[in-house]
Amino acid sequence: MDKYIYPNEDIYHEQLNGLEDRFSTVPLMEELKQKAREEGLWNLWMPKNHGGLSNEDYCALAEMMGRVLWAPEVFNCNAPDTGNMEVFMKYGTEAQKAQWLEPLLSGEIRSSYCMTEPDVASSDATNVRTSIIREGNEYVINGRKWFITNAPYERTKIFIVMGKSDADNPNRHLQQSQILVPKNTPGVTVVRPLTTLGYDDAPLGHAEVLFENVRVPAENILLGEGRGFEISQGRLGPGRIHHCMRLIGCAQRALEFACRRAVSRETFGRKLAEHQSVLEDIAKSYNEIEQSRLLTLKTARKMDEVGAKDSRDLIAASKITVPLMAQTVIDRCMQIHGAGGLTADYPMAEAFNYARWCRQADGPDQVHMMALGKQLVKRYAE
């Protein structure tokens, strides 16, 4: 980070802003990926049972990478590719792995996970309306998705698409399938990139994607027809926690900026650091960050010990707590910077946007509070 990332932050943004197509490759990124690969700082997210790190050990790394929004990709650790690679590792056939997992692991291509739909509350995965219908040796896919991260990016080649293959199955959790759809398949349209709070998150981006009579071979199905919900459950835990870890890095960095600002800026004849309210903001922010970090660490440790499924109380707790904490802390630290804190002169504003949309990603906070609340009522009252 000290040697290659922080010193290149301005250059990265200059290159990005200089691109003719905002969703094409930033040259610096490819150089830095090469360096990271050479130094063995590559695919650090790899789970322990595949020779990688425990969730707990990965926490500190993810936080560190999270301090710069584009840094995780340098180490091939960015969402949603990490989650997608894990899906391939857990559920892919050898052929699927050879074709898609290998270039993903090497950082050659990127991938999207096509879950969220504009017309239904996708936080309840059973709601998806996209259809995946078998016709002979093919599946035909029709539907509209949005907030598909990576979709606009030129290097993205493969979509994992969630849809209904058996909408009438009385078991609501067996209606869904997940299927591989190469981005260049006829009938796939990346309709438009979406912004959140004005940010397009280029070059990876989030897009609305339309599937119109898209046909793929039957062997593109993942794990088997009707097992889409099962895959989505298996996928979510670590991904949520990775966002939390990165957001803690964002918040921590904002706090450090605020501390430096507090000693370098004077108002009304005193340094900011001599205003009691600034010290209180700094102290509160530290407390909130530290508590979030400990909660996320405990969640990671529990996942290491008992698996994601039995850790869903703490996963929910982290998912509810950390993005909102990061939004709040970064908001305070921007305020300490005056109007400049809101501009692109600091990384805080963009990190604020990251925190804000994470309160919606993988389901809004409210859904997780409902789920966690129910677990707790069960635990303590029954």
150-169 residues near a second copy, rule: CB under 8 A: none
Cα 193 versus chain centre, distance: 17
CB of 48 to a second copy, least distance (A): 23
CB of 110 to a second copy, least distance (A): 20
Instruction: Give CA–CA dist 257/311, Å, rounded.
Output: 34
Judged by beta carbon, residue 98 or residue 344, the one nearer a second copy is 344
Judged by beta carbon, residue 157 or residue 368, the one nearer a second copy is 368
Residues 175-194 that bind a second copy (CB under 8 A): 194
- Per 3-state DSSP, the chain is made up of helix, strand and coil in percentages (nearest 5) of 55, 15, 30
Q: Which of 137, 184, 213, 277 binds a second copy (CB under 8 A)?
A: 277
Residues 326-345 that bind a second copy (CB under 8 A): 335, 338-344
Q: Which of 40, 170, 186, 198 binds a second copy (CB under 8 A)?
A: 198
Instruction: Give CA–CA dist 169/344, Å, rounded.
Output: 50
CB of 156 to a second copy, least distance (A): 19
Judged by beta carbon, residue 235 or residue 356, the one nearer a second copy is 356
Residue 382 sits in the site that holds a second copy (CB under 8 A): yes
Residues 229-258 that bind a second copy (CB under 8 A): 255-256
Residue 109 three-state SS: coil
DSSP 213-278: EEEEEGGGBSSSTT-HHHHHHHHHHHHHHHHHHHHHHHHHHHHHHHHHHHHH-EETTEEGGGSHHH
Q: Please choose, from the candidates 284, 226, 282, 278, the residue with its C-alpha nearest in 3D space to the C-alpha of residue 255.
A: 282
Residue 147 sits in the site that holds a second copy (CB under 8 A): yes
Residue 6 sits in the site that holds a second copy (CB under 8 A): no
Residue 306 sits in the site that holds a second copy (CB under 8 A): no
CB of 253 to a second copy, least distance (A): 10
Distance between start and end Cα atoms, the chain: 49
CB of 262 to a second copy, least distance (A): 5
Judged by beta carbon, residue 95 or residue 263, the one nearer a second copy is 263
Q: What is the CB-side half-sphere exposure of residue 204 using CA atoms within 13 A? A: 21
Helices 228-264, 348-358: crossing angle, 10 deg rounding? 150
Q: Which of 199, 211, 346, 354 binds a second copy (CB under 8 A)?
A: 199
Residue 351 sits in the site that holds a second copy (CB under 8 A): no
CB of 266 to a second copy, least distance (A): 7
Q: Which element (helix H / strand E) includes 179?
A: strand 176-182
Q: Which of 202, 262, 303, 329 binds a second copy (CB under 8 A)?
A: 262
Of 54-62, 137-145, 232-240, 357-365, the segment contacting a second copy by CB under 8 A is 357-365
Instruction: Give CA–CA dist 276/268, Å, rounded.
Output: 13
Residue 27 three-state SS: helix
Judged by beta carbon, residue 15 or residue 185, the one nearer a second copy is 15
